[in-house]
Structure 1
Amino acid sequence: MADEANKTAFFEIQGRMVETTAKLKQVQNQIRIKETEKKRAYLTLEELQQVPDDTKTYKSIGRTFVLEPKSVLSNEQEQKYKDSEAALASLQSSKEYLEKQMGEIENNLKELLQQDPGLAHQIMSLSV
Structure 2
Amino acid sequence: MADEANRAAFLEIQGRMIEISGKLKQVQNQLRNKEGEKKRAFLTLEELRQLSDNTNTYKSIGRTFVLEPKSVLMNEQEQKLQDSETAIASLQTSKEYLEKQMAEVENNLRELLQQDPGGLESKVLDALG
Fold-level similarity (TM above 0.5):
yes
Unpaired stretches in structure 2, ≥5 consecutive residues? none
| Structure 1 position 120 matched with structure 2 position 117 | no
**Cα distance in 2 for residues equivalent to 1:86 and 1:103:** 26
Compared CA separation, residues 66 and 6, structure 1 to 2 (3 A)? same
Equivalence for 1:95: 95
Q: CA RMSD in A?
A: 1.3
Unpaired stretches in structure 1, ≥5 consecutive residues? none
* TM-score, structure 2 as length reference: 0.95
Where do 4+ consecutive residues of structure 1 move more than 4 Å?
Answer: 125-128
* TM-score, structure 1 as length reference: 0.96
- 1:55 Cα deviation from its structure 2 partner: 0.4
- 1:124 Cα deviation from its structure 2 partner: 3.5
Provide the secondary structure at the position in 1 that maps to 2:59. Answer: strand
Provide the secondary structure at the position in 2 that maps to 1:66. Answer: strand
Equivalence for 1:61: 61
**Cα distance in 1 for residues equivalent to 2:39 and 2:116:** 50
Provide the secondary structure at the position in 2 that maps to 1:55. Answer: coil
**Cα distance in 2 for residues equivalent to 1:109 and 1:26:** 23
Q: Once the two structures are superposed, what CA deviation does each residue of 1:10-63 show, in whole Å capped at 9, x if it has no partner?
A: 010000000000000000000000000000000000000000000010000000
